[in-house]
Structure formats: structure tokens, C-alpha cells
Amino acid sequence: MKITIGAVTRGGSSLAYKTGDWREQRPIIDMTACKACGICRDVCPDTSVFVKESIYVINYDYCKGCGLCAHECPADAIRMVPEEK
């Protein structure tokens, strides 16, 4: 009899699990106020903030709404708004 405890049977990816659907607030970036410093991207624990064509974008599929990006933004270009369900 073979017993395996806690075995990982196959590798996975967090991309398979959209984790942003339980947040209560979501960040909104005001690109007119944004200084493009990248701090929001660097502090995001879910790697939800990225740059696309020189514009900072939030992938709401994975953003949990923790607010770190808004809290750390030196330009106050990110505000948290109630999530619309």
C-alpha cells in the first residue's frame, strides 16, 4: 500500500484562479495625476498593476482590493471606490 501525504500531483498557475471577485473596493488610477513612478506596480502583492502603452492598468480579475497601491502612491493618483457587484 502506497501512502502519499501532501503530494503535489501537478504544477499549476495562479492565472487559473481569478481571485478578484471578492473585493469590496477597487482602485481607480487617474492617469492625469499619475507620475509613472511604478510604485503601485511594485507594491501590488497580486501583480495586478502593469504598464500597457505607457499607461498604468489594473487587472481586476486578480486585484483583491487591498489598497496598497492607493496608500503608497506619492501623487495620490489612485483612489479606492466601492465595488459594484
- In the predicted model, what is the mean pLDDT of residues 50-69? 95
pLDDT (0 to 100) of residue 18: 79
- In the predicted model, what is the mean pLDDT of residues 44-58? 94
Which domain, by its residues, includes 62? 28-82
Q: Tell me, what CATH number does 53's domain have?
A: 3.30.70.20
**Cα 15 from Cα 12, distance rounded (Å):** 9
Average per-residue pLDDT in the chain? Answer: 88
- In the predicted model, what is the mean pLDDT of residues 40-49? 94
Asked whether residue 16 is assigned to any structural domain, the reply reads no
Residue ranges of the alpha helices (H) in the chain? 39-43, 68-72
Asked whether residue 8 is assigned to any structural domain, the reply reads no
Beta strands (DSSP E) in the chain are 25-29, 49-52, 55-58, 78-82
Asked whether residue 76 is assigned to any structural domain, the reply reads yes
The tens digit of pLDDT for each residue in 4-21 reads: 666 666 666 666 777 788
**Predicted confidence (pLDDT) at residue 77 exceeds the cutoff of 80:** yes
Close Cβ partners of 81 (under 8 Å, ≥ 6 residues apart): 25, 26, 27, 28
Asked whether residue 21 is assigned to any structural domain, the reply reads no
**Predicted confidence (pLDDT) at residue 79 exceeds the cutoff of 80:** yes
**How many domains is the chain built from?**
1
